[in-house]
Amino acid sequence: MQKATQINNHDLDAFVALSRVVFAQKDITALEALKPPVQALSNDEGEKITLKINQLKTSEHPL
């Protein structure tokens, strides 16, 4: 009867590690929910960024 109720330390360590991962994921999800939504760029801002990217791509200096 004693062997049936005995918990293997390795199994217990694995359970604790898994539960930490699950709780960490819940914390991350909760924090992500608090982030403000990303605002869309106006067309003008988007065009400026695209022009800058194209300038960097065509310049002789690597990023």
DSSP characters over 11-61: HHHHHHHHHHHHHHHHHHHHHHHHSPPPPPPPHHHHHHHHHHHHHHHHSSS
Residue 44 inside a domain? The answer is yes
User: Can you give the pLDDT at residue 38?
Assistant: 65
Is residue 18 assigned to a domain? yes
Q: Is residue 43 part of a domain?
A: yes
Residue 25 lies in a domain: yes
Distance, CA of 58 to CA of 53 (rounded, Å): 9
Report the domain count for the chain: 1
Give pLDDT, residue 39.
Answer: 66
Q: pLDDT tens across 5-62, in order?
A: 566 777 888 888 888 888 778 877 887 777 776 666 677 777 888 888 888 877 765 5
21 domain-assigned: yes
| Domain region containing 25 | 2-58
**63 falls within a domain:** no
Contact 63, 56 (CB under 8 A): yes
